[in-house]
């Protein structure tokens, strides 16, 4: 995995010589970009879309594979994803949500899903398919709840900013870091 970060930096190193500090900064920046991409809430939207299509991710190949025939309509998936797209943002995951806010958001999503599926059951190909409606709601609610709990008490943002601080300290190396008491020395 480390090679993934080093390849672009090594290419730049070969194009023009970089100082070790600049090279280290580039590698650290690429690592942080990778972390930010991994915590991107849009990845959860993609996962929900695949799961609603009846697909499962093959752990060996990393590809999504069909498990069952598509039961719900494309319009149902589109409506669910449209709602969730307004919630699944970096602002949400990097927020500082308390339990009450998370519960309120979950209640609104559950109410919306229930109302939407009841009103449009015929159009969504879900008429009388209560087990399938439950499956859809479970998929959405479990993944939404997991995403929201990442923001509980600012947990995700604290982890990210802590990683950034560690990265900054690593970029300067021990010989360039001043100790607290050294900063107080005037003589």
153 token code pair: 């008490």
Could you tell me which of 29, 76, 35, 30 has the C-alpha nearest to residue 53?
Answer: 76
Question: How much is the pTM?
Answer: 0.68
Q: pLDDT at position 175, please?
A: 47
Calpha distance 58→66 (Å, rounded):
10
Model confidence at 163, pLDDT cuts 50, 70, 90, reads low
Q: What is the CB-side half-sphere exposure of residue 109 using CA atoms within 13 A?
A: 26
Mean pLDDT over all residues of the chain? 80
Q: Flag whether 4 is in a domain.
A: no
15, part of any domain: no
Neighbours of 37 (CB within 10 A): 10
In a domain, 18, yes or no: no
CA dihedral 102, 52, 137, 107 (to 10 degrees): 30
Note the helical H segments in the chain: 2-15, 20-38, 42-52, 74-85, 90-93, 99-119, 130-150, 155-176, 180-184
For residue 92, being part of any structural domain is answered with yes
On whether residue 126 sits in a domain, the answer given is yes
Question: What does the alpha-carbon distance between residue 119 and residue 112 come to, in Å, rounded to a whole number?
Answer: 11
| Domain total of the chain | 1
pLDDT tens digits, one per residue of 66-97? 988 877 899 999 999 999 998 888 888 888 89
Task: Summarize pLDDT for 91-136 with one digit per residue, the tens.
Answer: 888 888 999 999 999 999 999 999 999 999 999 989 999 999 999 9
Query: Per the domain annotation, does 20 fall within a domain?
Result: no
Q: Is 33 within the bounds of a domain?
A: no
- Expressed as residue numbers, the domain containing 48 is 39-173
In a domain, residue 187? The reply is no
């Amino acid at each position: 995995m480390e090679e993934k970060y080093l390849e672009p930096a090594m290419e730049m190193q070969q194009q023009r010589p970089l100082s070790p500090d600049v090279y280290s900064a580039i590698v650290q920046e690429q690592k942080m970009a990778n972390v930010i991409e991994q915590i991107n809430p849009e990845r959860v939207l993609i996962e929900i879309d695949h799961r609603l299509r009846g697909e499962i991710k093959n752990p060996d190949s990393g590809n999504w594979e069909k498990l069952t025939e598509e039961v719900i309509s494309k319009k149902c998936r589109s409506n669910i994803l449209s709602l969730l797209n307004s919630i699944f943002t970096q602002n949400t995951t990097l927020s500082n949500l308390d339990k009450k806010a998370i519960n309120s958001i979950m209640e609104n999503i559950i109410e919306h899903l229930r109302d939407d599926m009841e009103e449009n059951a015929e159009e969504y190909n879900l008429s009388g398919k209560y087990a399938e409606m439950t499956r859809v709601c479970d998929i959405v609610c479990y993944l939404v709840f997991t995403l929201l709990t990442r923001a509980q008490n600012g947990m995700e943002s604290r982890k990210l900013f802590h990683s950034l601080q560690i990265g900054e300290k690593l970029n300067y190396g021990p010989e360039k870091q001043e100790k607290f008491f050294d900063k107080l020395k005037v003589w």
